[in-house]
Chain A
Amino acid sequence: MITDACVYANDSSHTTLRRFALTAASCGFSRIIACDSVEDISGYAGVSILKGKLIGKLSGKAFFDAVKKTPAGTVVFVQVGENSFNRTAVTTKGVHLLTGIADLPKGGFDHIVAKMAAQQNTGVVLDFSRIIDPKSRRTALSRYAEILAFQRKYHFPLLIASGASECLGQRNITEITALADLFGMTRSEVDFALDSLDGILYPKKTVEIVEDGS
Protein backbone atom coordinates (compact mmCIF):
# COMPACT_ATOMS: atom_id res chain seq x y z
CA MET A 1 0.00 0.00 0.00
CA ILE A 2 1.30 3.42 -0.95
CA THR A 3 1.61 5.29 2.33
CA ASP A 4 2.07 8.90 3.33
CA ALA A 5 3.94 8.28 6.58
CA CYS A 6 2.82 11.38 8.46
CA VAL A 7 0.17 14.09 8.32
CA TYR A 8 -0.63 16.30 11.30
CA ALA A 9 -4.41 16.48 11.70
CA ASN A 10 -4.34 18.02 15.17
CA ASP A 11 -6.39 20.82 16.77
CA SER A 12 -4.34 23.64 15.23
CA SER A 13 -4.88 22.29 11.71
CA HIS A 14 -7.61 23.88 9.56
CA THR A 15 -8.04 20.63 7.63
CA THR A 16 -10.17 17.76 8.84
CA LEU A 17 -8.89 14.19 8.79
CA ARG A 18 -11.48 13.27 6.15
CA ARG A 19 -10.22 16.05 3.88
CA PHE A 20 -6.64 14.83 4.38
CA ALA A 21 -7.80 11.36 3.28
CA LEU A 22 -9.70 12.77 0.29
CA THR A 23 -6.66 14.76 -0.86
CA ALA A 24 -4.40 11.74 -0.30
CA ALA A 25 -6.70 9.68 -2.51
CA SER A 26 -6.50 12.27 -5.29
CA CYS A 27 -2.70 12.31 -4.88
CA GLY A 28 -2.48 8.54 -5.42
CA PHE A 29 -2.06 7.31 -1.82
CA SER A 30 -3.93 4.39 -0.32
CA ARG A 31 -2.96 4.91 3.33
CA ILE A 32 -2.01 7.80 5.61
CA ILE A 33 -0.73 7.95 9.18
CA ALA A 34 -2.43 10.71 11.16
CA CYS A 35 -0.12 11.89 13.91
CA ASP A 36 -1.67 13.16 17.17
CA SER A 37 -5.11 13.18 15.57
CA VAL A 38 -8.18 13.98 17.69
CA GLU A 39 -10.62 12.31 15.29
CA ASP A 40 -11.01 8.54 15.27
CA ILE A 41 -11.65 7.44 11.68
CA SER A 42 -10.24 4.23 10.22
CA GLY A 43 -10.76 5.09 6.57
CA TYR A 44 -12.35 7.51 4.11
CA ALA A 45 -12.59 7.76 0.30
CA GLY A 46 -10.75 4.45 -0.10
CA VAL A 47 -7.79 5.59 2.00
CA SER A 48 -7.10 3.74 5.24
CA ILE A 49 -6.05 5.92 8.16
CA LEU A 50 -3.64 4.71 10.83
CA LYS A 51 -3.10 6.47 14.12
CA GLY A 52 0.35 7.72 14.95
CA LYS A 53 1.96 8.97 18.13
CA LEU A 54 4.95 11.28 18.14
CA ILE A 55 7.28 10.93 21.12
CA GLY A 56 9.67 13.83 21.62
CA LYS A 57 13.12 13.88 23.16
CA LEU A 58 12.47 12.47 26.64
CA SER A 59 14.93 11.31 29.21
CA GLY A 60 15.34 7.67 30.32
CA LYS A 61 12.30 6.37 32.15
CA ALA A 62 9.84 8.93 30.73
CA PHE A 63 10.70 7.77 27.21
CA PHE A 64 10.19 4.07 27.98
CA ASP A 65 6.90 4.87 29.78
CA ALA A 66 5.65 6.89 26.79
CA VAL A 67 6.41 3.97 24.44
CA LYS A 68 4.77 1.44 26.79
CA LYS A 69 1.62 3.53 27.26
CA THR A 70 0.98 3.76 23.53
CA PRO A 71 -2.17 1.78 22.63
CA ALA A 72 -1.85 -1.23 20.34
CA GLY A 73 -2.26 -0.53 16.64
CA THR A 74 -0.68 2.92 16.90
CA VAL A 75 2.41 3.70 14.87
CA VAL A 76 5.10 5.07 17.20
CA PHE A 77 7.32 7.88 15.92
CA VAL A 78 10.34 9.08 17.87
CA GLN A 79 11.84 12.52 17.33
CA VAL A 80 15.58 12.01 16.85
CA GLY A 81 18.10 13.78 19.05
CA GLU A 82 21.62 13.11 20.29
CA ASN A 83 23.46 10.01 19.10
CA SER A 84 23.04 8.10 22.39
CA PHE A 85 19.30 8.83 22.48
CA ASN A 86 18.90 7.63 18.89
CA ARG A 87 20.67 4.35 19.71
CA THR A 88 18.30 3.80 22.64
CA ALA A 89 15.26 4.72 20.54
CA VAL A 90 16.22 2.36 17.70
CA THR A 91 16.69 -0.62 20.01
CA THR A 92 13.52 0.00 22.08
CA LYS A 93 10.77 -2.51 21.39
CA GLY A 94 7.60 -0.81 20.18
CA VAL A 95 9.31 2.05 18.33
CA HIS A 96 8.47 1.87 14.63
CA LEU A 97 9.87 5.02 13.07
CA LEU A 98 12.48 7.74 13.63
CA THR A 99 11.51 11.21 12.48
CA GLY A 100 12.90 14.77 12.49
CA ILE A 101 16.04 13.87 10.53
CA ALA A 102 16.30 17.41 9.12
CA ASP A 103 16.86 18.78 12.67
CA LEU A 104 19.49 16.16 13.47
CA PRO A 105 22.60 17.47 15.23
CA LYS A 106 25.92 16.76 13.52
CA GLY A 107 26.90 13.12 14.00
CA GLY A 108 23.44 12.29 15.36
CA PHE A 109 22.87 9.49 12.87
CA ASP A 110 26.04 7.53 12.22
CA HIS A 111 26.82 4.14 10.70
CA ILE A 112 26.20 2.36 14.04
CA VAL A 113 22.67 3.76 14.39
CA ALA A 114 22.09 2.85 10.72
CA LYS A 115 23.24 -0.72 11.35
CA MET A 116 21.05 -0.96 14.48
CA ALA A 117 18.03 0.38 12.55
CA ALA A 118 18.56 -2.28 9.89
CA GLN A 119 18.83 -5.05 12.52
CA GLN A 120 15.80 -3.87 14.52
CA ASN A 121 13.77 -3.10 11.37
CA THR A 122 13.13 0.49 12.50
CA GLY A 123 12.23 2.92 9.75
CA VAL A 124 13.55 6.41 9.12
CA VAL A 125 11.08 9.03 7.92
CA LEU A 126 12.03 11.65 5.34
CA ASP A 127 9.71 14.61 5.94
CA PHE A 128 9.22 16.42 2.63
CA SER A 129 7.64 19.48 4.26
CA ARG A 130 11.17 20.40 5.32
CA ILE A 131 12.24 20.50 1.65
CA ILE A 132 9.22 22.60 0.72
CA ASP A 133 9.98 25.11 3.48
CA PRO A 134 12.75 27.40 2.10
CA LYS A 135 14.20 28.03 5.60
CA SER A 136 15.03 24.37 6.25
CA ARG A 137 15.55 23.26 2.63
CA ARG A 138 19.35 23.27 2.51
CA THR A 139 19.79 21.39 5.78
CA ALA A 140 17.08 18.90 4.86
CA LEU A 141 18.56 18.16 1.43
CA SER A 142 22.06 17.56 2.83
CA ARG A 143 20.79 15.42 5.74
CA TYR A 144 18.56 13.34 3.47
CA ALA A 145 21.46 12.75 1.08
CA GLU A 146 23.54 11.47 4.05
CA ILE A 147 20.70 9.21 5.21
CA LEU A 148 20.25 7.88 1.68
CA ALA A 149 23.95 6.96 1.52
CA PHE A 150 23.60 5.01 4.80
CA GLN A 151 20.40 3.36 3.57
CA ARG A 152 22.10 2.17 0.39
CA LYS A 153 24.79 0.52 2.49
CA TYR A 154 22.83 -0.87 5.46
CA HIS A 155 19.34 -1.30 3.93
CA PHE A 156 17.21 -0.04 6.81
CA PRO A 157 13.60 0.86 5.89
CA LEU A 158 13.12 4.37 4.58
CA LEU A 159 9.72 6.08 4.51
CA ILE A 160 8.42 9.23 2.88
CA ALA A 161 6.06 11.63 4.63
CA SER A 162 4.47 14.83 3.41
CA GLY A 163 4.49 16.17 7.00
CA ALA A 164 1.52 18.31 6.03
CA SER A 165 -0.53 20.22 8.58
CA GLU A 166 -2.94 21.46 5.87
CA CYS A 167 -4.27 19.68 2.78
CA LEU A 168 -2.32 22.18 0.64
CA GLY A 169 0.89 20.67 2.01
CA GLN A 170 0.19 17.21 0.59
CA ARG A 171 1.99 16.27 -2.62
CA ASN A 172 1.26 13.65 -5.29
CA ILE A 173 3.57 10.80 -6.33
CA THR A 174 4.98 12.67 -9.36
CA GLU A 175 5.90 15.65 -7.19
CA ILE A 176 7.41 13.42 -4.49
CA THR A 177 9.55 11.71 -7.13
CA ALA A 178 10.71 15.10 -8.43
CA LEU A 179 11.51 16.36 -4.92
CA ALA A 180 13.35 13.14 -4.04
CA ASP A 181 15.43 13.56 -7.18
CA LEU A 182 16.83 16.78 -5.63
CA PHE A 183 18.87 14.76 -3.13
CA GLY A 184 19.65 11.85 -5.44
CA MET A 185 16.88 9.37 -4.66
CA THR A 186 15.89 7.33 -7.70
CA ARG A 187 12.36 6.51 -8.77
CA SER A 188 12.65 2.84 -7.77
CA GLU A 189 13.88 3.89 -4.30
CA VAL A 190 10.91 6.26 -3.97
CA ASP A 191 8.48 3.48 -4.93
CA PHE A 192 10.10 1.15 -2.40
CA ALA A 193 10.01 3.81 0.34
CA LEU A 194 6.33 4.55 -0.25
CA ASP A 195 5.50 0.87 0.11
CA SER A 196 7.77 -0.09 3.02
CA LEU A 197 5.48 0.47 6.04
CA ASP A 198 4.02 -3.05 5.95
CA GLY A 199 7.52 -4.48 6.33
CA ILE A 200 7.93 -2.50 9.58
CA LEU A 201 4.49 -3.11 11.09
CA TYR A 202 4.31 -6.78 10.09
CA PRO A 203 7.91 -8.01 9.81
CA LYS A 204 8.61 -11.38 8.24
CA LYS A 205 9.25 -13.93 10.96
CA THR A 206 11.45 -16.95 10.72
CA VAL A 207 9.70 -20.30 10.51
CA GLU A 208 8.86 -21.71 13.94
CA ILE A 209 8.99 -25.49 14.31
CA VAL A 210 6.22 -26.60 16.64
CA GLU A 211 6.88 -30.02 18.10
CA ASP A 212 4.05 -32.41 18.48
CA GLY A 213 3.60 -33.20 22.21
CA SER A 214 2.21 -36.72 21.74
Chain B
Amino acid sequence: MSVLPPTLRENRRYVLFRVITQVDPTQKEVYRSMADSVASLFGDVGAAKMHPAVVWSEGEYAVARCTRGHEQSLIAALSVITKICGEPAAFRSIATSGTILSLKKKVVPEIVDDTTYPGYLCAGKKVNNLSKENGHRYLTKDDIIKE
Protein backbone atom coordinates (compact mmCIF):
# COMPACT_ATOMS: atom_id res chain seq x y z
CA MET B 1 0.00 0.00 0.00
CA SER B 2 1.46 3.35 -1.00
CA VAL B 3 1.79 6.13 1.57
CA LEU B 4 -0.61 9.05 1.18
CA PRO B 5 0.94 12.39 0.22
CA PRO B 6 1.03 14.91 3.11
CA THR B 7 -1.72 17.10 1.62
CA LEU B 8 -4.17 14.17 1.61
CA ARG B 9 -3.39 12.97 5.13
CA GLU B 10 -5.76 13.62 7.98
CA ASN B 11 -4.65 16.50 10.24
CA ARG B 12 -4.25 15.40 13.82
CA ARG B 13 -3.92 16.92 17.27
CA TYR B 14 -2.44 15.35 20.39
CA VAL B 15 -3.56 15.85 23.98
CA LEU B 16 -1.28 15.16 26.94
CA PHE B 17 -3.11 14.00 30.04
CA ARG B 18 -2.36 12.56 33.45
CA VAL B 19 -4.14 9.49 34.79
CA ILE B 20 -4.63 9.98 38.53
CA THR B 21 -5.49 6.63 40.11
CA GLN B 22 -4.19 4.13 42.64
CA VAL B 23 -3.70 1.33 40.07
CA ASP B 24 -1.16 1.20 37.25
CA PRO B 25 -3.24 0.88 34.05
CA THR B 26 -1.83 -0.31 30.73
CA GLN B 27 -2.11 1.75 27.52
CA LYS B 28 -4.90 -0.55 26.32
CA GLU B 29 -6.93 0.01 29.51
CA VAL B 30 -6.48 3.75 29.17
CA TYR B 31 -7.68 3.54 25.56
CA ARG B 32 -10.74 1.45 26.52
CA SER B 33 -11.79 3.98 29.17
CA MET B 34 -11.32 6.84 26.71
CA ALA B 35 -13.17 5.08 23.87
CA ASP B 36 -16.12 4.21 26.16
CA SER B 37 -16.31 7.79 27.36
CA VAL B 38 -16.17 9.24 23.82
CA ALA B 39 -18.90 6.83 22.67
CA SER B 40 -21.18 7.58 25.64
CA LEU B 41 -20.76 11.35 25.27
CA PHE B 42 -20.77 11.80 21.48
CA GLY B 43 -22.08 8.48 20.18
CA ASP B 44 -20.60 6.28 17.47
CA VAL B 45 -20.87 8.98 14.79
CA GLY B 46 -18.97 11.48 16.95
CA ALA B 47 -16.35 8.87 17.82
CA ALA B 48 -15.85 8.05 14.14
CA LYS B 49 -15.33 11.71 13.29
CA MET B 50 -13.03 12.26 16.26
CA HIS B 51 -10.95 9.13 15.57
CA PRO B 52 -9.50 8.86 19.11
CA ALA B 53 -6.45 6.77 20.01
CA VAL B 54 -3.83 6.56 22.74
CA VAL B 55 -0.45 6.83 21.03
CA TRP B 56 1.93 6.98 23.98
CA SER B 57 1.83 6.20 27.67
CA GLU B 58 4.48 6.18 30.36
CA GLY B 59 3.81 6.03 34.09
CA GLU B 60 0.82 8.21 34.85
CA TYR B 61 1.13 10.29 31.67
CA ALA B 62 -0.41 9.47 28.29
CA VAL B 63 -0.93 11.13 24.91
CA ALA B 64 -4.23 10.82 23.06
CA ARG B 65 -4.71 11.54 19.36
CA CYS B 66 -7.75 12.96 17.61
CA THR B 67 -8.71 14.68 14.36
CA ARG B 68 -7.90 18.40 14.23
CA GLY B 69 -10.84 20.49 15.43
CA HIS B 70 -12.06 17.84 17.90
CA GLU B 71 -9.54 18.56 20.71
CA GLN B 72 -12.15 20.28 22.87
CA SER B 73 -14.50 17.31 22.53
CA LEU B 74 -11.70 14.88 23.39
CA ILE B 75 -10.82 16.89 26.52
CA ALA B 76 -14.51 16.87 27.54
CA ALA B 77 -14.65 13.09 27.04
CA LEU B 78 -11.47 12.61 29.09
CA SER B 79 -12.79 14.78 31.92
CA VAL B 80 -15.97 12.71 32.42
CA ILE B 81 -13.99 9.51 33.10
CA THR B 82 -14.27 8.60 36.77
CA LYS B 83 -13.08 4.98 36.84
CA ILE B 84 -10.39 2.80 35.33
CA CYS B 85 -10.04 -0.95 36.06
CA GLY B 86 -12.83 -0.54 38.64
CA GLU B 87 -10.84 1.99 40.68
CA PRO B 88 -11.67 5.69 41.08
CA ALA B 89 -9.67 7.80 38.64
CA ALA B 90 -9.39 11.21 37.02
CA PHE B 91 -7.93 11.97 33.59
CA ARG B 92 -6.45 15.45 33.88
CA SER B 93 -5.73 17.18 30.55
CA ILE B 94 -2.49 19.14 30.58
CA ALA B 95 -1.71 20.40 27.07
CA THR B 96 -2.65 20.15 23.40
CA SER B 97 -0.17 20.16 20.53
CA GLY B 98 0.41 19.17 16.92
CA THR B 99 3.36 16.91 17.74
CA ILE B 100 3.96 14.18 20.30
CA LEU B 101 7.53 15.36 20.88
CA SER B 102 6.52 18.77 22.19
CA LEU B 103 4.06 17.15 24.60
CA LYS B 104 6.68 14.75 25.94
CA LYS B 105 8.77 17.78 26.92
CA LYS B 106 5.95 18.91 29.20
CA VAL B 107 5.95 15.70 31.24
CA VAL B 108 7.10 16.37 34.80
CA PRO B 109 7.17 13.08 36.75
CA GLU B 110 6.25 13.39 40.41
CA ILE B 111 8.90 12.03 42.75
CA VAL B 112 7.26 9.53 45.05
CA ASP B 113 8.73 9.45 48.53
CA ASP B 114 7.21 6.60 50.54
CA THR B 115 9.92 6.34 53.18
CA THR B 116 8.97 9.48 55.12
CA TYR B 117 5.59 8.21 56.36
CA PRO B 118 5.09 4.43 56.35
CA GLY B 119 1.69 3.44 54.90
CA TYR B 120 1.37 6.66 52.97
CA LEU B 121 2.27 7.51 49.38
CA CYS B 122 3.86 10.96 49.38
CA ALA B 123 4.54 13.13 46.34
CA GLY B 124 5.45 16.71 47.15
CA LYS B 125 2.81 18.11 49.47
CA LYS B 126 0.25 15.52 48.34
CA VAL B 127 -0.20 12.37 50.43
CA ASN B 128 -2.42 9.38 49.64
CA ASN B 129 -3.30 6.91 52.37
CA LEU B 130 -3.50 3.47 50.85
CA SER B 131 -4.60 1.48 53.91
CA LYS B 132 -7.44 -0.93 53.15
CA GLU B 133 -9.34 -0.32 56.40
CA ASN B 134 -10.01 3.33 55.71
CA GLY B 135 -10.17 2.99 51.92
CA HIS B 136 -8.24 5.61 49.99
CA ARG B 137 -7.77 8.89 51.76
CA TYR B 138 -6.40 12.04 50.19
CA LEU B 139 -4.40 14.29 52.51
CA THR B 140 -1.49 16.70 52.61
CA LYS B 141 1.73 16.52 54.63
CA ASP B 142 0.35 19.19 56.96
CA ASP B 143 -2.66 16.96 57.71
CA ILE B 144 -0.36 14.09 58.71
CA ILE B 145 1.66 16.34 61.01
CA LYS B 146 -1.64 17.48 62.55
CA GLU B 147 -2.77 13.84 63.03
Interface residues of A (CB under 8 A from B): 14-16, 18-19, 22, 44-45, 131-132, 134, 137, 166-172, 174-175, 177-179, 181-182
Contacts and interface: CB of A to CB of B under 8 A. Distances in A.
B92 interface: yes
Interface residues of B, number: 27
Contacts of A179: 76, 79-80
A132 B140 contact: no
A14 B72 CA distance: 31
Interface stretch (B54-62, B99-107, B130-138): B130-138
Interface string B101-133: 000000000000000000000000110000000
Given A14-B137, A175-B75, A178-B72, A134 B40 contact: yes
A16 B143 contact: yes
A174 B135 CA distance: 30
Nearest to B141: A18
Nearest to A175: B79
Given A14-B135, A175-B93, A181-B76, A168 B82 contact: yes
B38 to A, nearest CB: 13
Contacts of B80: 131-132, 134, 137, 179
B125 A132 contact: no
Interface in B66-108: 72-73, 75-76, 78-80, 82, 88-90, 92-93
Interface pairs A-B: 10 shortest CB-CB? A175-B79, A178-B76, A178-B75, A15-B138, A168-B90, A18-B140, A19-B138, A167-B138, A14-B137, A16-B143
Contacts of A14: 134-138
B140 A16 contact: yes
